[in-house]
Structure 1
């Protein structure tokens, strides 16, 4: 085991805070050289751009590898295995590998891939960390409890659908060796205790819960678990595996596409339109970067349901095209034409 490269798999539902957690981890890795594999579900690599430049000493840009050809659990043979083999073959091997999966990913196929002979001899899963959104769970969203979901439907249009989201959430919980309950600063202590009680009904015995705000978790708590998850598969089966004897799943229940716009309207106008678009078209997740007239920095946008957050993350680089790039994710079928038309009309009117 000591000769194998430990790997941490970080999973979690859309907008739970995986990228924020990884960013904090890289900045506080205490000298460990970390290779980062990012599984971006969408046409443009937003997450890699967010992470680039943080933790330079421990995760250089050439240590960041993006798999943008769809969910990592569906492209194990084509993308993941060759990527891992290339990392293993490097003369200067990383001390630790971190894999940030797409919010739509089922962890189980990825865990099993570590038993491929050419991977198993060199790499081991240090642990699977699932990030959960405490604020969303406290509101009854993205949970498997149908009674809680029904109680929230009149308050949140996102909950009007009979969807596979609850099962997906359960699958990510049951695969975890550790659950990071994020955004706890947005929830009362009583609600937090209720959320943790609910999570324990969906977790395997022995799984720990760590509370966090803004993805701030001590690197020592995430790295060095030494679990060897690939050899501990019992009880981690997904709903699909249990129902279909291990047949691979597909993402037909989700749509994802990108929209590119010229430098747009003022910040408040853009965010208001994004909020209206999310509500009108039942968008689950929207993220990207915007070019705001007169601003020297690009505006990073992260939206989960009705909550839209935005901040200027870095200055525009010399020669960089100043345009707005957004990834939209939602349940199939999304009205792509309608969403694009609304956003493009806004840009043209600016």
Structure 2
């Protein structure tokens, strides 16, 4: 089968909260006449991103074309989850003309590329391109990339520091695997922050990569779809910290799921999430809440202490008004009882 006959797949990677779901929602609403399908891979047990995307389904990407894998990492469950999901999408009538895969924000993209060498699909699918999203403000602040000079200075003084943090490794692997970088939230970073973020990305990239500024996920689909990169055949150009490893670990990160009673004041919930993120080094919070007296569900998305919330849809007539939050942090920072106290116990004490 020639590459032209293969079904193109675009892998969309990027750190937690970088805007992957927002980008995919934009692509779904602007499909350029193509029938799209979407696979969402989340870290944690609550499928927030898939639920958001299904609410945006349109004829060119109906709800049955949106599939969700909410058990961590696609590439660790190739035979059990990933291959059956791809085959199910390809068996749809009519079949999709392009598949978008949203990886977990904690995923290393290169092992996923290796999954496309699986015998059952390698002759039928090609990786059209790997798109990495990077939060301009976060990158400029150095939160997801190492300060090379500082690390070198510390390395000279203390051999025990001769390693990089898990977060920086994830960031660097995502950049190294990409065909194009989308620099998101440039409005929050400002011109100086955008310039600094571009310099960081240029320093980390193993080869020159195009960097495109994108606000609210709005980008011409022609810029990122149809790259024809055949990334599965171009692995050597995409170095990883984990090259040569037989497997890769996800033990650096942990998620905690908290059931949330109805809240009376969304502003109070936001304030508690902000405080919790700061005090407990929380990376990501996402989920939804029921607000007393409100027929709409409150969707909550937080990156660190930066919290966004909006009413996204009405509660269903037979749906329990039960809130739920997924909280993600590095393993050594996770304290489930402290997280529960911040989100639930403090709220109940205040009422």
- TM-score by structure 2 length? 0.91
The separation in 2 between residues aligned to 1:266 and 1:143, in whole angstroms, is: 36
- Range that drifts further, 90-99 or 322-331: 90-99
Q: Is the 8 A contact 2:75 2:115 kept in 1?
A: no
Inter-CA distance 57–91: structure 2 relative to 1 (3 Å threshold)? closer
The separation in 1 between residues aligned to 2:79 and 2:239, in whole angstroms, is: 20
Which of 143, 146, 158 does residue 144 from structure 1 map onto? Answer: 146
The separation in 2 between residues aligned to 1:323 and 1:149, in whole angstroms, is: 45
1:107-155 deviation line (CA, Å, top 9, x unaligned)? 01111111222211111101000000001112221112255799xxxxx
- TM-score by structure 1 length? 0.91
Match of 1:156 in 2: none
- Range that drifts further, 251-260 or 192-201: 192-201
- Range that drifts further, 289-298 or 125-134: 289-298
- Range that drifts further, 77-86 or 252-261: 77-86
Which structure 1 residue ranges, 4+ long, deviate > 4 Å from structure 2? 146-150
Match of 1:98 in 2: 100
Deviation at 1:316, TM superposition (A): 1.8
Match of 2:281 in 1: 282
Match of 2:336 in 1: 336
Which of 42, 45, 70 does residue 44 from structure 2 map onto? Answer: 42
Match of 1:5 in 2: 7
Aligned residues between the structures? 337
1:77-135 deviation line (CA, Å, top 9, x unaligned)? 32112211222233421010000000000001111111222211111101000000001
Deviation at 1:68, TM superposition (A): 1.1
- Range that drifts further, 320-329 or 80-89: 80-89
Match of 2:238 in 1: 236
- Range that drifts further, 169-178 or 141-150: 141-150
The separation in 2 between residues aligned to 1:347 and 1:43, in whole angstroms, is: 23
- Range that drifts further, 264-273 or 171-180: 264-273
Match of 1:155 in 2: none
The separation in 2 between residues aligned to 1:198 and 1:346, in whole angstroms, is: 40
SS of 1:187 mapped into structure 2: helix
SS of 2:193 mapped into structure 1: helix
RMSD, aligned CA: 1.9
Correspondence list, 1:263-302, <5 A: 263-302=262-301
The separation in 2 between residues aligned to 1:131 and 1:346, in whole angstroms, is: 35
Inter-CA distance 62–149: structure 2 relative to 1 (3 Å threshold)? farther
Q: Is the 8 A contact 1:31 1:58 kept in 2?
A: yes
1:208-266 deviation line (CA, Å, top 9, x unaligned)? 1111011111111121111111111113131022xxx2321111111112111221231
The separation in 2 between residues aligned to 1:185 and 1:342, in whole angstroms, is: 30
The separation in 1 between residues aligned to 2:118 and 2:71, in whole angstroms, is: 21
The separation in 2 between residues aligned to 1:122 and 1:209, in whole angstroms, is: 30
- Say if 2:98 is the partner of 1:111: no
Match of 1:154 in 2: none
1:173-218 deviation line (CA, Å, top 9, x unaligned)? 0000111011011122233122112211212324211110111111
The separation in 2 between residues aligned to 1:129 and 1:222, in whole angstroms, is: 7
SS of 1:248 mapped into structure 2: coil
